[in-house]
Structure 1
Amino acid sequence: MAIATITLPQTYWEAFKIENDDLEFLYNHLLDLEIPQTPQELVRALIEERIRTEKVRMEKKQASGGETYYPKDHFEVGQKLTFPAFHWENGKVTAVREGVNPELPAFDVITVEMDNGEEHNFAAGVEDHLLNQPITIQNDDPALDPVAVYKTYGKRLAAQLTEILESNQDLVRIAGRWFPRSLLVDVNIGHLNLAEAVLEMTDGGPLATKAILEQVDLPTDVNSKLTEFSFNLALQEDGRFDEVGPAGEVLWFLRRLEPEEVQNPPAYLRYNPVAFDIDPILEPLTQLEKQVIDEFATTDNETDEEDEISLSMIYPHLRAGTLPLSKRISTFFPTAYESPRVQFAFVDGNSGQRFSGWVVRSQKYACGLHTWYNTQDLIPGSVIKILRSDKPGEVIIKAEKKRPTREWIRTALIGADGGVVFAMLKQQVSTVYDERMVIAIPDMDALDKIWAQTGKARGTLEQTTKALMIELSKLNPQGQVHTQELYAAVNLVRRCPPGPILSLLTERPWANFLGDLYFRPTSLTLEDAP
């Protein structure tokens, strides 16, 4: 085993920055392969190339610095040497003298001035010394192991590379893969018109690229993967087509035939952000947002992956046939490298029925549930479960059903003045529900008229929150209202996440905080709200 070895500094990959030479290598690498590559594949190739060039560089440095120092050799003043034990630093012999050690055979001591100005003494003419062994590259060094380097640094390097490639005009990306634009197969308007006709015959899609190519006359004398990549890019750059496949799968849909709720957010989900100071309410808001699932939640942080999750429906999502894609829920749904919309399949966990669903990533909701909600007899506050499927592109959804019974539950009625009032009435219920969020709605059409209001008729968020808080307090003997109840009530008439509501309750004089997210309206009248 060699004592002195060629290695990389421990901080080499931690401080690694992709340079122009690396990009030139990757460009030529793509030209040689003629196959589009993901950032992860490119990073693996780059790591292997960097390790190869660093080995060559270190070996050249070893050879160019002068004769390698071995303790067994004899040296003269002025001789240039390279020292493996000093990370291949170079130096010049400035003096030679006899060594003194009665326990050793005769030897010399050389004084060496290193290139960095330091001066060191070394033994010479010593036949029995560990450093006399051959110098080799340390192949078991993790910094020189492509697999170990990628495992530790691959994710960071892929992100760094993606950011650089996105600003490179010579390379193009489709479905997470990159390739030089100059080598793309020519796809003309005729090919794209044929693709539109093919998709139209299948009700808009979705169709895989290969299925479309089978009916489009593109050259067959080039790399099939390159042809497919070129066609994908041409479709992506044409506004008629939408790439809707989950990550790793390219599927195409005609944009004009996508459901309306995919193309435009339903009115019930449109939220105009309300500014509020989160610092004074951070602790109670975090507590509240663990009890509800809202795509606009402020403290919605990443959590460990779950196999199933339960959520209580709020009126906007129930009415729109959608689900909120909070960070917790979004892990159950397929995502994509770039596509803003992803088509997938819902599966009823009780009946096994399959039906189409869509993820609208930019708006943080999944849609396609309007009919299913109606068949399940759901009401605001009903509990549904989302379960992780073993099959990609599939999401299992299940209503928590129970034997239909008539129960006393909070019921929203529209008063003579057009406002919402609450009463405890007996209603037929066939689903499990959250007692704080359940609200029966006998007349949805009347409620929808409130959603259609604008300007002064609609009122401010503060006016809505105070009015509904007063109405809810009438149902409680102590006159108190839990913030979760008020959140569900406010969302009967306007879309709003928990944060702005809780902020109003803590800042305004018309609400007294009782602790544990409970509030009681003060003696102020409704007219006192601005």
Structure 2
Amino acid sequence: MIADLLEGETPLPADVLARRVIELRLERDAQALADRYADLLAYDPTQTYKKGQTIAFQGERLATGVVTAVESGLDPAGFCGRSYGKFKRMTVDIDGETATYAAGIAEGVVEPSVSDLLTALPGAETMSLDDIMEVNGAKILASVNEALQSNPTLVRLAGKWFVRDLMQDVTVGHLNLAEAVLDIAEGGPLTTAEILEQIGGLGDSPQELQEFSLNYAMNEDERFDEVGPAGEVLWYLKRQEPAEVREKPALLRYTRIDYNRDLLTADMLALEAEVDDELSPFDTVEDVDEATVRLIYAHRRLGTIPLNSHTRAIFPTARRAPRINVTLVDAHDGGETYSGWVVNDEQYVYGAAEIYRKYHLPLGAQFTVHRSSTPGHIVIAVPTFRPRVEYVSLMSAKDDRLQFDLQTRHIGAKFDEQMILGIDELAPIEALAKSLTQQKKNLSTVLKLVIPALARLSPQGAAHAKTIYSAVNVLRRCPPGVVLATLEANRDFENVADHYWKLSDA
């Protein structure tokens, strides 16, 4: 494998090296077989042979034998029931058994050549390279990866390997120029080839080796951030990345609460799946073409999109890059684009604030995301219509008390009726949320603030679980499963019916 890397001066991925390993093995085995049967002759009745020669015979199965005697033919008309004219009678030892063959016949059947017979000899490989990779490719690739990773003389970057000592020298001057190029490009993103073109390259070595060497050097320098999806290298200046991308915003941070998931009924689990909060313990749903998002306070306020079980399948991933730069495309408005950032480890995408503001999306608004035909582009489709008057629960706070009032607002986007909320004055709400956090109030205390205030809007004096979840998330980040389990476990709360809850009368 190292010889292949050296010979081409080209970094190669493990799967290419794995195929080369098999190719070399097949070539070696074929040569060994050829050497083993170097003196082998293919049986041809028209030819003559000498005692001691090894001959291959094609029949129902391939056989090889050593000539033990050669005599002039006697009674040609009677040999094997056929008249051959002049011929030689040849005795051959095949695996300890004696057989007799005719040789030196003037006219005979043309037999296969030795090269044809070699493929059927014992030890000959009958599987092609593609067949071997199809059957055992995963196992072979794992072994090759293990061998590569255990070799300290090799370097891996963006899925490719090369010999460390043969990489091109990248100086501080080169890196300073790369920083300047990215600075002019407003931080990026730029491909390695684009940066190399601007800084004048790294000499006369192959382009792929120059890119590999510069990638390695930039990866080791704290000024640069590799922000491309899997299989693509893109560079950005860290200092020009949004603060909300470099560090998870406080509004999105969830302080883990231990709870018993066995308390959740089938209906509760169905509601949890419907909400599809990114903090819920769901695996990624594969083969998704489109995913629906329901906006809660933190994401609406920050302009982020949750990476939940469905949206995770839409947005790109990377092997190592903690942040991926993408382009968010407004499905309406002429396909206007915005810079987006996928932060997979923290389960959110940053960069949708302008779209949210453009369509005046309330809490509880719904929209969809899907891939574009252009790589790295994600389409955001907000179902819009002529604004119409809707009743919205407006959330307000005063003196550490929470209040909800039904008021009319013009809404021009699709929304979840149980999750829609409005806030006219943010400062008092933020102050209440901060106070609850500083006082280390638990979730039950927050629920006792939220549920009675919401219940006043209902003749039944109860609030829907999704409305409770939406309101709780204005005050602190919390997934629906935890909210539902806390309601179910605490006798201070009563399940009225159909996901409606109220404070217990007891």
Aligned residue among 250, 267, 283 for 1:301: 283
Q: Which runs of 4+ in 1 moved over 6 A?
A: 60-63
Could you say what secondary structure the match of 1:231 adopts?
Answer: helix
Gaps of 5+ in 2: 41-59, 61-79, 81-94, 102-115
The percent identity for this pair of structures is: 34
The answer to whether the 8 A contact 1:451-1:493 is kept is yes
Q: TM-score, normalised by structure 2?
A: 0.78
Indicate the residue corresponding to 1:46 in structure 2: 21
- Cα deviation, residue 169, structure 1: 2.8
1:447 is the counterpart of 2:406: no
In our comparison, the structure showing a higher alpha carbon Rg is 2
Q: Which amino acid aligns with 1:27?
A: I
The answer to whether the 8 A contact 1:39-1:178 is kept is yes
User: Cα distance 1:304–1:432, how it changes in 2: closer, same or farther (>3 A)?
Assistant: same
Gaps of 5+ in 1: 1-25, 68-84, 86-104, 106-121, 525-530
The answer to whether the 8 A contact 1:187-1:218 is kept is no
User: Cα distance 1:226–1:400, how it changes in 2: closer, same or farther (>3 A)?
Assistant: same
The answer to whether the 8 A contact 1:293-1:324 is kept is no
User: Cα distance 1:456–1:226, how it changes in 2: closer, same or farther (>3 A)?
Assistant: closer
Indicate the residue corresponding to 2:469 in structure 1: 487
What is the CA deviation profile of residues 96-135 of structure 1, one whole-angstrom value per residue up to 9, with x for unaligned ones? xxxxxxxxx9xxxxxxxxxxxxxxxx9945789xxxx967
- Cα deviation, residue 159, structure 1: 5.5
RMSD: 4.1
Q: TM-score, normalised by structure 1?
A: 0.75
The answer to whether the 8 A contact 1:386-1:396 is kept is yes
The answer to whether the 8 A contact 1:48-1:146 is kept is yes
Could you say what secondary structure the match of 2:475 adopts?
Answer: coil
- Cα deviation, residue 357, structure 1: 0.8
Q: How does 1:328-407 map to 2 (within 5 A)?
A: 328-351=310-333, 352-407=335-390
The answer to whether the 8 A contact 1:243-1:339 is kept is yes
Q: Which amino acid aligns with 1:372?
A: I
Bigger mean CA offset, 142-151 vs 260-269: 142-151
Q: Which amino acid aligns with 1:46?
A: V
- Cα deviation, residue 424, structure 1: 2.3
The answer to whether the 8 A contact 1:296-1:326 is kept is yes
Equivalences, count: 457
The answer to whether the 8 A contact 2:432-2:475 is kept is yes
What is the CA deviation profile of residues 394-441 of structure 1, one whole-angstrom value per residue up to 9, with x for unaligned ones? 011121212212211222121x32233223222221211101111111
Indicate the residue corresponding to 2:228 in structure 1: 245
1:320 is the counterpart of 2:302: yes
Q: Which amino acid aligns with 1:314?
A: I
Q: How does 1:375-524 map to 2 (within 5 A)?
A: 375-414=358-397, 416-453=398-435, 455-457=437-439, 459-513=441-495, 517-523=499-505
What is the CA deviation profile of residues 251-287 of structure 1, one whole-angstrom value per residue up to 9, with x for unaligned ones? 1111001111111112211112222233443845542
Q: Distance in 1 between matches of 2:389 and 2:121?
A: 77
The answer to whether the 8 A contact 1:176-1:338 is kept is no
The answer to whether the 8 A contact 1:142-1:149 is kept is no
Q: Which amino acid aligns with 1:429?
A: I
Q: Which amino acid aligns with 2:431?
A: K
Could you say what secondary structure the match of 1:214 adopts?
Answer: helix
Bigger mean CA offset, 26-35 vs 350-359: 26-35
User: Cα distance 1:282–1:308, how it changes in 2: closer, same or farther (>3 A)?
Assistant: same
The answer to whether the 8 A contact 1:143-1:149 is kept is no
Q: Distance in 1 between matches of 2:247 and 2:484?
A: 29
Q: How does 1:6-85 map to 2 (within 5 A)?
A: 26-53=1-28, 59=33
Indicate the residue corresponding to 2:182 in structure 1: 199
The answer to whether the 8 A contact 1:285-1:498 is kept is no
Q: Which amino acid aligns with 2:20?
A: A
- Cα deviation, residue 388, structure 1: 1.9
Q: Distance in 2 between matches of 1:142 and 1:295?
A: 52
